[in-house]
Structure 1
Amino acid sequence: MATKIQRDIDYGEFDASLVKYKPAASLSTVTPITPITPSRNPQPDLGELWEKYTEFKKPQVSPSTYAVDYRKYRNHIVKLPTKTLDDAIAIRDYLVAHLSANAAKRTLTNINACCDWALKSQLIESNPFPSMAKDIQIPKSELAEYEINPFTKEERDSIIQAFEESKLYSYYAPLVKLLFFTGCRPSEVIALQWKHISDKYITFDQAITISTKGLALKDGLKTQSQRRFPINHQQHEILESIKPENCNPDNFIFRSKKGGIVDFGDFLNHAWKGYKNHRGTHIDGIVTQLVKQGIVSEYRKPYQCRHTFITLCLEADIDAKDLGRWVGNSPEVIYKHYAGNKRNLQVPEL
């Protein structure tokens, strides 16, 4: 080091601060700073999105949609093995493997709607579920449940007679008759009060729905605010047979055995179809019994009462426009969904 200093003195390059002559170990070094990339905020998972989405939709949908349909999809989401949006393919495959094709398709349709909303609400960066539901094909066996498959007139009469003669369920007979002879929806018939009955008309203007608090009365109908159904002698007799003296106009026409609103799910799963008792024994309902006896060709749900009325009216040459007003459908719906089911349709001789 002394030699180096002497040399610099000789050549006029001496560093008076002596920094030049300090050992390298004593010099400070500067560590380069690596820029920090801000981390992405973690995306909410599907369960969290569904809760936020349904709260947003709650004021916009019917109480039954919120209480029944949304809860059903929530239960499917809860059971998913993963709820991360990055695992959308795995979510789809799980739903297809564990649900019917129709249920999986409906669930994915609603999940897609949820994620569309979340994307617009800037909760997520992209929706990984578009078009997934479209790829699911529903087999004909599942579609058949939703098809129009009316009872014949003879089957209808046998069902009514069986209810009238039943020791357990005869009190449901007038309800079944009015379903068959007005074509109204189940939710509409159980919402009828005596104030809705006049000498000429039945006025349908409300329905019973399922809410988070149980059965609830909702103003308005599925496709309209109200409609009037003209009473004939047949319906007049049904109603007069059960009308109490000095009845309160606000009383419901059809009541459960305990005096409350008829729970149509209970009617379906006990009186109509049947159920398993606490011992695991299946107790057949009225229609199931008739199917086993060969009197009714196949089991069908109570909504087919409506389809039966519409089909029989078409066979009696009731104009589709008039029929549509009676049952709350457009003529287009009548022609599209029911005209093809006319059993006595024949090609005319021209």
Structure 2
Amino acid sequence: MAVTVDPKTQKLNIRFRVNGYKKQFYLASGLNNLVKNRIIVESRWEEIQRDIALGRFDSTLKSYKFGNYQNAVVQTEKLSLDNLWDKFLTFQAQHLERSTLESDYKQITKIIVELSSQLFEDAPTIRDWLLAKYSYHTTHKALAAFSRCCKWGIDSRLIDFNPFEKIQIPSPKNSSIENEVKAYTLEQRDLIITAFESHAKFSYYSSLIKFLFWTGCRLGEAFALTWGDISRQCTRISITKAYSTSGCYEVQ
């Protein structure tokens, strides 16, 4: 439903339902069905959706009324970086795979916990602390993540400015090279397999190495496999989960 037009008055309205509430919600805009007005009403509907997702939906609809709309902005000093990051991760978890959260955000979460300050006004100090403690590449990655988090916070009306936007450091010169993935040649593959097969101490890894090369399976996916993932005819393997330090989780 969402944005509708009253057939009699040709005014734009918002109709919707929310899980946990039996009734249908109705919000009259009082605006005529014009393109510019529809943009305003759709924007209000997006704000309502954000509040629903963040668990702060106002079921009285008072804070969403048109003409007298006041959506209070949480002042920056009342919300620290770690608090905002937690809310950001909660939101991201609704549409990202857990494997993505683990790979992209786990390191940043650890860094935030170790920060010398969690205050937004200390953003320059946080940058300098990161440069002193971590590599340039890690610092660049962390500051970029902080900035994305703050941009989300602004869109969600949790903060009113992004203190990390103007203190970003240039991208590492070799970042494109570092991120480039190069596959082994067939000759290199065979040499690696042979080296494992003939090694006096680590030869028992050779079967695993062959399996990884021949299937393209990732380490986490291989370590999570069980006999239940193999067909009765032993002709097919179903890779539906991966293993991390926190345990197995579904990826498909």
**TM-score per shorter chain, which class?**
0.5 to 0.7
Query: Helix, strand or coil: the match of 1:51?
Result: helix
Residues 147, 165 of structure 2: 8 Å contact kept: yes
Q: Which residue of 1 aligns with 2:165?
A: 130
Shift of residue 177, structure 1, vs aligned partner: 0.7
Amino acid at match of 2:240: Q
Residues 63, 209 of structure 1: 8 Å contact kept: no
The partner residue of 2:250 within 206, 218, 224 is: 218
Equivalences for 1:161-172 in 2 at 5 Å?
Answer: 161-172=194-205
Equivalences for 1:107-256 in 2 at 5 Å?
Answer: 107-130=142-165, 132-133=167-168, 135-140=169-174, 143-194=176-227, 195-197=229-231, 202-210=236-244, 214-220=246-252
Instruction: State the Cα deviation string for residues 210-243 of structure 1 (Å, max 9, x = none).
Output: 26xx2214142xxxxxxxxxxxxxxxxxxxxxxx
Residues 93, 101 of structure 2: 8 Å contact kept: yes
Q: 1:105 to 1:201 in 2, by over 3 A?
A: farther
Shift of residue 47, structure 1, vs aligned partner: 1.9
Residues 49, 114 of structure 1: 8 Å contact kept: yes
Shift of residue 196, structure 1, vs aligned partner: 3.6
Paired residues in the alignment total 177
Amino acid at match of 1:88: A
TM-score normalised by structure 1 residue count: 0.43
Distance 1:124 1:168 in 2: 57
Q: 1:109 to 1:202 in 2, by over 3 A?
A: farther
Q: Look at both structures and tell me which one has the larger radius of gyration over its CA atoms.
A: 1
TM-score normalised by structure 2 residue count: 0.57
Shift of residue 200, structure 1, vs aligned partner: 9.5
Distance 2:100 2:215 in 1: 26
Residues 196, 203 of structure 1: 8 Å contact kept: yes
Residues 47, 83 of structure 1: 8 Å contact kept: yes
Q: Which residue of 2 aligns with 1:284?
A: none
Distance 1:172 1:100 in 2: 33
Equivalences for 1:44-83 in 2 at 5 Å?
Answer: 44-67=79-102, 69-83=104-118
Instruction: State the Cα deviation string for residues 259-294 of structure 1 (Å, max 9, x = none).
Output: xxxxxxxxxxxxxxxxxxxxxxxxxxxxxxxxxxxx
Bigger drift between 95-104 and 198-207 goes to 198-207
Gaps of 5+ in 1: 1-39, 221-350
Matched residues, percent identical?
Answer: 32
Query: Helix, strand or coil: the match of 1:122?
Result: coil
Distance 2:237 2:166 in 1: 42
Amino acid at match of 1:136: P
RMSD: 3.1
Distance 2:205 2:160 in 1: 54
Distance 1:174 1:77 in 2: 40
Residues 63, 210 of structure 1: 8 Å contact kept: no
Gaps of 5+ in 2: 1-74
Distance 2:147 2:93 in 1: 17
Residues 156, 180 of structure 1: 8 Å contact kept: yes
Residues 101, 136 of structure 1: 8 Å contact kept: no
The structure, 1 or 2, with the larger RCO (C-alpha pairs under 8 Å, 6+ apart) is 1
Q: Which residue of 1 aligns with 2:52?
A: none
Q: Which residue of 2 aligns with 1:346?
A: none
